[in-house]
Amino acid sequence: MKVLVPVKRVVDFNVKVRVKADQSGVDLANVKMSMNPFDEIAVEEAVRLKEKGKAKEVVVLSIGPGQASETIRTALAMGADRGILVKTDQTVEPLAVAKLIKAVAEAEKPDLVIAGKQAIDDDANQVGQMLAALLDWPQATFAHALELGEGSAEVSREIDGGLQTVEVKLPAVITTDLRLNQPRYASLPNIMKAKKKPIEEKSPADFGVDISPRLKVLKVSEPPRRGGGVKVASVGELLDKLKADGVL
């Protein structure tokens, strides 16, 4: 079984994001970048499947600038076998990302695509669902637990009311939620080994995919600052305050 895992290079989740002065976007100058946390969970799950003997190869795919190869190297150090970089300096929107992953999937013919449910920079939560539709594959999103069977996968999904268990036939698209696993830290020997693992470089044109933007960002602004707290002397005063503020 071959598993394909798309990963995205994003601003590190520990970094306080700054908006550009002209509000045209987020300031990325001298900002630490890392693998999207949900994608890191997807890589970990794929590597665990390989360690259990249920997967033979884990291929990692990233779409972005040349620096995205560092993100692929991180996944290779975690245990993935090889990487593919679709190199572009353009901002690639979710539909174009899904089309590129579809093209790679058709070339690689994986039995399973495991992706993060969303990226923490745009929070779109669209690529997995769009990819499943384009490939005409079953999908199981927000995976809490994953068990592979003969030609199928049983997935426990996180939903508003708790957990829902579904079974999908392979090949399929699965997107990961936070509680699926705890990603490992890559050891120094594995980091060194990852430098020798192959990364194939492609371009969107190689797959015949048009990545021209369909959306226009009008303005990016920081969320309003939280106001200071207010001390109250009693429950009655608290209720009056909440009513006055329109909360109740």
Indicate whether 228 pLDDT > 90.
Answer: no
Kindly provide the b/e burial profile for residues 125-157, where b requires at least 16 CB atoms within 10 angstroms of the residue's own CB. bbbbbbbbebbebbbbbbbbbbebeeeebebbb
Tell which wins on pLDDT, 215 or 100: 100
Indicate whether 101 pLDDT > 80.
Answer: yes
pLDDT per position as a tens digit, 19-71: 888 988 888 888 899 999 999 999 999 999 999 999 999 999 999 999 999 99
Read off the pLDDT of each residue in 78-85 and give the average, rounded to a whole number: 96
Read off the pLDDT of each residue in 64-80 and give the average, rounded to a whole number: 96
Indicate whether 217 pLDDT > 90.
Answer: no
**What pLDDT score does 207 carry?**
95
Tell which wins on pLDDT, 248 or 89: 89
Tell which wins on pLDDT, 217 or 112: 112
Lowest mean pLDDT among 82-86, 124-128, 160-164: 160-164
**What pLDDT score does 174 carry?**
97
CATH number at residue 26: 3.40.50.620
Domain count, the chain: 1
**What pLDDT score does 18 carry?**
87
Full residue range of the structural domain in which residue 30 is found: 2-244
Beta strands in the chain (DSSP E): 2-7, 9-11, 33-35, 57-64, 82-87, 112-116, 139-148, 152-159, 162-169, 172-176, 199-202
pLDDT per position as a tens digit, 129-152: 999 999 999 999 999 999 999 999
Tell which wins on pLDDT, 200 or 229: 200
